[in-house]
Amino acid sequence: MVLEFDPAFIQAPEHRPKPAVAEAGSIPLIDLSPLHLLEQHGGPLVAELEVLVAQVEAACRDWGFFQVINHGVPPAVVERAWAASRGFFALPPEERRRVRRDEVNPLGYYEAENTKNVRDWKEVFDFVVHEPAVIPSPGDAGGGVDRLIELRNQWPQFPHGFREALVEYAQATEELVFKLLELISLTLSLPPKRLHSFFKDQTSFIRLNHYPPCSSPHLALGVGRHKDAGALTILAQDDVGGLDVRRRSDGEWVRVKPIPNSFIINVGDIVQVWSNDKYESAEHRVLVNSERERFSIPFFFNPAHYVMVKPLPELVDEKNPAKYEEYNWGEFFKTRKNSDFKKLDVENIQIYHFKKAK
């Protein structure tokens, strides 16, 4: 029997998942218990915090990815977010489509996203963390003067308590992401709040990912290989597993093992540019399987649309010149979003397009 499998989902042979992915030697696990010590004012860092900063520095340098425990987000808050997500994706399709994203509003439900021009085996629900989020109009072509639009969330009527659960989740994880930002600043020998102002009018959004079982898991991917474009991502995953990270040392794909009550943190392209390549935004992808559906919830921590992204002046000098031309976050985000929305003939936008010639 020939299985009907929509060719839109089929990955090129070199990108299809190979059965053997290393599970050993995976991303570092970091205990964030000393995080409350960030509250101290001035003075040298206490020893515990210094150890934590060193761990985060090594993880960002060697992997661009790590897992955290004792992060301070209450388990009950995370539980309620999972319940909301499961409830939403269990609704009949016509109910989910009532809040479907369209050409005008890129927020809400969507089931036809592409990564690098191949369709992902997933459906998503997106909402912004701060409303309204101001971004350049996604319909406009690049190059000219952009119209700005105000994004507002589309909340479904069902399941009951969906919005409340996710707003609560957003508040709790936002607190964590600002602490992680302080840690990253410390690892770059900068004052802890050095990067905060970029997030004043942040364009962060949270995505509920649902990966249904797939009849041809060897041909498709839940999310094709990609790097996250923003500053940082905080990801909650369930116990199914399927996230692979490209190991910097040898280029191998490594599976991230689910750990209860943990989050996966990764640095995005913006931190790579700010750090002038001290840190690298790691490539990752999601495998699907034929038996179990999988859920995950990434928080994409993004700056204001008007932020010009470039290596931080404190980190460059004559010996270490800036490796990137500056670029505008809103433009980058818009261009990337447009390519996720429809298949284009050209490669989607990447930070290496802003890399200076040597």
Number of residues forming the site for ligand OGA (CB under 6 A):
11
Max intra-chain CA distance, the chain: 71
The minimum distance between CB 266 and Ni ion, in angstroms, equals 7
The minimum distance between CB 63 and Ni ion, in angstroms, equals 14
User: Under a CB-based contact definition with an 8 Å cutoff, are residues 17 and 242 in contact?
Assistant: no
The minimum distance between CB 308 and ligand OGA, in angstroms, equals 24
Does 85 sit near ligand OGA (CB under 6 A)? no
The minimum distance between CB 282 and Ni ion, in angstroms, equals 10
- Sign of torsion over alpha carbons 223, 56, 205, 268: negative
Work out what residue 286 binds among Ni ion, ligand OGA, none; the CB cut-off runs from 5 to 8 Å by kind. Answer: ligand OGA
Look up residue 38 and give its DSSP letter. G
Work out what residue 209 binds among ligand OGA, Ni ion, none; the CB cut-off runs from 5 to 8 Å by kind. Answer: ligand OGA
Give whichever of 53 and 281 is closer to Ni ion, judged by the CB atom: 281
Report d(CA 297, CA 307) in Å as an integer.
Answer: 25
Does 296 sit near ligand OGA (CB under 6 A)? yes
Long-range contacts of 130-135 (CB under 8 A, 24+ apart): 130/201, 130/202, 130/204, 133/202, 133/203, 133/204, 133/205, 134/201, 134/203, 134/304, 134/305, 135/203, 135/305, 135/330, 135/333, 135/334
The single residue among 11, 114, 185, 209 that binds ligand OGA, judged by CB under 6 A, is 209
Task: Write the CB contacts of 197 (distance below 8 Å, at least 6 apart in sequence).
Answer: none
Does 26 sit near ligand OGA (CB under 6 A)? no
Give whichever of 323 and 336 is closer to ligand OGA, judged by the CB atom: 336
The minimum distance between CB 233 and Ni ion, in angstroms, equals 6
Which residue has the CB atom at the shortest distance from ligand OGA?
296
What's the number of CA atoms in the CB half-sphere (13 Å) around residue 161?
12
- Cα 36 to chain centroid distance, Å, stands at 24
Give whichever of 123 and 228 is closer to ligand OGA, judged by the CB atom: 228
Radius of gyration of the chain from its Cα atoms, rounded to whole angstroms? 20
Does 244 sit near Ni ion (CB under 5 A)? no
Does 228 sit near ligand OGA (CB under 6 A)? yes
Does 243 sit near ligand OGA (CB under 6 A)? yes
The minimum distance between CB 300 and Ni ion, in angstroms, equals 8
Does 269 sit near Ni ion (CB under 5 A)? no
Helix/strand/coil (H/E/C) assignment for every residue in 188-238: CCCCCCCCHHHHCCCCCEEEEEEECCCCCCCCCCCEEEECCCCCEEEEEEC
- Cα 322 to chain centroid distance, Å, stands at 25
The minimum distance between CB 285 and ligand OGA, in angstroms, equals 7
Applying the rule CB under 5 A, the residues between 193 and 232 that interact with Ni ion are 228
Does 113 sit near Ni ion (CB under 5 A)? no
Structure tokens given for 221 = 């991917």
Query: Which run of H or of E encompasses 76?
Result: helix 75-89
Phi/psi for 266 (5° steps) reads: -135, 150
The minimum distance between CB 177 and ligand OGA, in angstroms, equals 15
Report d(CA 192, CA 181) in Å as an integer.
Answer: 8
Give whichever of 128 and 243 is closer to ligand OGA, judged by the CB atom: 243
The single residue among 119, 246, 247, 284 that binds ligand OGA, judged by CB under 6 A, is 284
Structure tokens given for 325 = 């031309």
Stretch that binds ligand OGA, among 1-9, 28-36, 75-83, 235-243 (CB under 6 A): 235-243
Q: Which residues bind ligand OGA (CB under 6 A)?
A: 207, 209, 223, 228, 235, 237, 243, 284, 286, 296, 298
